[in-house]
Amino acid sequence: MLRRDRVGRRGGGVAVCVSNRLKADVWTSPGDSSQFEMLWVRVQTQTHSTFVGALYHPPRPQYQTAALLDYIEAGVDAVKAMCALSTIVLAGDFNTLDDTEVTERSDLLSIVDRPTRGANILDRVYVSSPCYSTVRVIDYTVKSDHKAVVTYQDHLSVKPLNKRRQRRSYRRRTPAQHAPFLEYASTLHIELDRHTDKLRHYVWRHARDPR
């Protein structure tokens, strides 16, 4: 997991998780600034490189929206200049950032076309080429009012696993369930003398070391 924590407050930030079978490192974009919650990660295989950008754009940012668009454009241009054949994936929570502005400034394709929070498309994925054949918007497995975006190629044969509800019978535990046993146990009087304690110690030691 490669991460970029939010500066100046507890919690927040962005992260990219990559399989340990792949080589990945943080790539620093030109004009990098801590005011933007954005992380670029370069993922490399033997034959190809993919640059993944993770972004969180808050609803009320402390920076100008145009400055973020300039930063995204500069990062994408730098990747293309350095590695023209690489794949670029930009994803995250863009909130009110204009989708048309992002595609025009970055020359990337927007591939999420269904709402991810209420009636709005806030969580988006942009790619430099049509590298994903399937895009799904599904409910999060954690408590969130956002939905998750899952993208993959069809040859991976990913099958959705839907939850099922079943009713099972079980024996309910109540305070009175073990009352007869507890009542009986309270009448027992157990004593251990010194001889019994020594014998127990000998048996335990002999079991560990028969000599």
For the segment 71-111, what is each residue's pLDDT rounded down to a tens digit? 999 999 999 999 999 999 999 999 999 999 999 999 999 99
> Given this model, what pLDDT does residue 3 score?
93
Return d(Cα 125, Cα 131) in angstroms, integer: 12
> Given this model, what pLDDT does residue 170 score?
74
Whole-prediction pTM:
0.72
Tokens standing for residue 43: 């993922």
Q: Where are the domains of the chain?
A: 2-156, 179-208
Tokens standing for residue 60: 């009320």
Return d(Cα 5, Cα 154) in angstroms, integer: 34
| Check whether domain 2-156 has CATH 1.10.760.10, yes or no | no
pLDDT tens track, the chain, 211 positions? 999 998 877 778 999 999 999 999 999 998 899 899 999 999 998 899 999 999 999 999 989 999 999 999 999 999 999 999 999 999 999 999 999 999 999 999 999 999 999 999 999 999 999 999 889 998 887 788 899 999 988 766 666 666 677 888 777 777 777 787 788 888 887 776 665 555 555 555 555 555 5
CA 131 to chain centre: 21
> Given this model, what pLDDT does residue 144 score?
86
Q: What angle do CA 127, 84, 135 make, to 5 degrees?
A: 15
